[in-house]
Amino acid sequence: MDHAKSSNKLSEQRWIDTVRSLLPENPEEVLKPFRSYPPFRSFMLSIGMVLAISCALTLPASAETSDNALDTAPFPLTGVPSLTSATTSTREQEKSSPVPFKQEDPVRLGPAGPTFLDTLQADITKNLLQSSRWLDSFFYDPRYAVEENETRAVVRYEGFIENHAHWTFKTRVKLVLILPQLKNKANLIIAGDPNEDDQNQLGQGLLASPAPVENTRRNTSAALGYLIRSSERYNINAKIGIRYRNGHVVSFARPHYRRLSRLDNWDLRFTQEFPYWTDTKWSSSTTVDLERPLGEAFFFRASLNGSWFEKLPGYYYGLVFSLSQPLSTTSALSYNAGASFQTGAHDVLQEVVVATRYRQRFWRDWMYFDITPQVRFPRDRRFNAVPGIMFGLEMQFGQGG
């Protein structure tokens, strides 16, 4: 028995000596690499683990999934202005066609192929971009602005130079406040813009028929607007207010009527206003738009607008052709060509304008910039070319921004 015990003790002593020989003499040396491990490497390792788990949980869309598998009715998308109605024909929206713009996603995380959500987002966005409502809201066209009924503040800075002349700068400010006490049908509008009330130039911008000098010297206005009826086919609203102009205060009333009709694949929009000013009396503004998508990447519009003023002779009218091209949900191009006329003993061509406008949302969803190079051929310069360019920076705040 004593011999067996001594053998066991000898075996245990050998195991202990073997283990000790494998361990370092100073245990602190074993923990030192872990204690000095850089925090940045630990952070990157954690990020890598999160990305690996996310990629593993992302499932690619089935190749047999139909674009119409779910209801694709428009709903608010990130980076896409809110819509109240789309004026494109239903048949155009139901066409299954490629998305008419390039996805701005140079660095894509996730599976290489499209996912189910990618397919759904592309189909919905395509339908939205093919509507005149989206284009008008993205460019904040007067067609859209005159009918909007949501709280919004717009601040716009413009710089314009033409034919090597001096730069001219302009600031436009507009504030629309919804009055919930009147069932959200009334709004208070405060505007500071020399050209804000040129609704006789409805939606024409630089290509509008020339407004008489007497009707362009307006500075600040405050008006109460009321929405009588609003739908895809009709819009009826009216504004009453006062305006401070050239040191004088004048009051005004402005009823507005718009009707949209479907003509096969075309949309016909008729807009009529009869503004009344206490100093310039009655005037009339009429606009007829004929529009439709062209292919999968363009939207075409032909516009005829006319203006009449009680205290001025003649009738002012213009014809404009525009071709819009959405590049993405944050940028778009618009190509425009038009001519303006004034009636008299004979219809007189006053001016021809060709312009291209690029508009981009940048940095924030509520910030825009646009560049508009143009060439005018005015009658007072014997229709010689007068080049010009305008730069604009716009900020929108509120529900619509």
Which residues, including other chains, have CB under 8 Å from residue 107's CB and lie 6 or more apart?
none
62 vs 238, higher pLDDT: 238
CB 108 within 8 A of CB 137: no
Euclidean distance between CA atoms 8 and 155, whole angstroms: 92
Mean pLDDT score across all residues of the chain: 74
Whether residue 384 has pLDDT greater than 90: yes
| More confidently predicted of 123 and 286 | 286
- Distances, alpha carbon 321 to alpha carbons 15, 237, 358, 391, in Å: 95, 27, 16, 22
Residue ranges and CATH numbers for the domains of the chain are 2-57 (no CATH), 132-398 (2.40.160.40)
| Residues β-bridged to residue 374 | 355, 388
Angstrom distance (rounded) from CA 89 to CA 109: 36
Which residue, 103, 99, 168, is CA-closest to 127? 99
Distance CA 200, CA 207 (A): 12
**Residue 140 region, left (φ>0) first, then alpha (ψ -120 to 50), else beta?**
left
Per-residue pLDDT band at 176 (split at 50, 70, 90) = very high
pLDDT digit string, tens, across residues 249-295 = 999 999 999 999 999 889 999 999 999 999 889 999 999 999 999 98
Higher confidence at residue 16 or residue 293? Answer: 293
66-116 pLDDT tens trace: 333 333 333 333 333 333 333 333 333 334 334 344 444 444 444 555 666
Nearest to 147 by CA among 194, 193, 195, 203: 203
- What is residue 111's predicted lDDT score, i.e. its pLDDT? 52
Beta bridge pairs of residue 288: 270, 304
Per-residue model confidence as pLDDT tens digits over 133-158: 889 999 999 899 999 888 999 999 99
- pTM: predicted TM-score of the whole model, two decimal places: 0.67
Query: Residue 342's pLDDT band (boundaries 50, 70, 90)?
Result: confident
